[in-house]
Amino acid sequence: MDVLSDAVTAMRTGRPHSSRTRWNAPWGVRFAPFAGAGFHVVLQGSCWVLPQRGEPVLLRVGDIALLPHGTGHGLADDPATPLREAGNPGSLPPAPPPDGAPGATVLLCGAYLLDQDRRHPLLAELPETVHLSSRVGAHPGLRAVIDLLGAELNRPREGSGAVVPALLDALLLYALRAWYDELRLDHRGPEGWAAALHDPAIGAALRAMHQDPGRAWTVRSLAAAAGLSRSPFARRFTALVGSPPLAYLTWWRMTTAAGLLRADDRPVRRVAERVGYVSEFAFAKAFKRAYGVAPGRYRRVPEPGDGPTPRTRAADGPGGGPP
């Protein structure tokens, strides 16, 4: 298990989708907020991302814009171009055959269906728009995934129905890797979760919790996994992660339990055991404190996007309530 993969998996509510689109200037579209994350990759030409807050962002060939919080935004050939309403970034019509028109922009756009009420703080701290530039030699893995995805969408073949979602999942993880790598290499040094992931001791403790959330962890045993003594570990963990070790552990256990409850129909008792609770009653009490409903009822509530869901304190992240 690794924290980045777990963070995305915990939020996923459906299959990602994408399209390859072509626009001839002048053009502009507006995307309404949606339950997920969107991305845009420029394959030819250039365009502007127009976030709800902040300045417009120019995208050139090879640049990527990731909208990790599903916020509404615009996309246009020029910031002054009027915008027409669209769905989400993955629902744009496919590109027509090349027409040779000058000034055409070809984009790879996509959307991930994510539950923002279960978002991991690793993703919650991302900015509204993550801009990854196509600097020469930067992020070769990400570039390779984009090339494969673009080719698959341009010429679908047998197996594309399985290949495209897998490539989209890979693109999201490579984009997040690239963003955190850029923060780490920034001369100011990374902060928050970027620092936590790249800190050898705290990273080891986080991986241990994610690999075995049901283990009877204590601050002392987590410190041992991190290779530190108890007090320095607790201070360092809290400073980087934003919550004490056992508070984060409880939050991750409840997040894991929520995913298990939605994934299949295994008995609540089995879910409780998987996340470290011997008593089903104690688990149900902790789960209701985190999500506002009992485990059995949570399992029956529609996923985000299917209908209204209860407001949950778990949405506040590991620091949002007592363990």
**pLDDT tens profile 299-313:** 876 655 443 333 334
> Taking the domains of the chain in order of start, what are their residue ranges?
3-185, 199-316
Is-same-fold flag (3-185; 199-316)? no
pLDDT value of residue 41? 93
The span from the CA of 164 to the CA of 153, in Å, is 8
pLDDT interval class at 317 (50, 70, 90): low
CA 174, 124, 166, 32: dihedral to nearest 10 degrees?
-110
Residue 302: DSSP 8-state: P
Residue 228 phi, psi dihedral angles, 5° rounding: -125, 165
- For the chain, what is the mean pLDDT? 84
pLDDT value of residue 40? 94
Element spanning 165, H or E: helix 160-185
For residue 233, give the nearest of 210, 188, 191, 199 by alpha carbon.
199
- 199-316: which CATH architecture? Orthogonal Bundle (1.10)
Q: Is the pLDDT of residue 9 over 50?
A: yes
> Looking at the domain covering 3-185, what would its CATH class be?
mainly beta
| Residues 18, 108 contacting (CB under 8 angstroms) | yes
**pLDDT tens profile 73-97:** 999 999 999 999 887 777 666 655 5
Range 204-227 average pLDDT: 95
Any bridge partners for residue 44, and if so which?
106
The span from the CA of 42 to the CA of 57, in Å, is 13
pTM listed for this prediction: 0.80
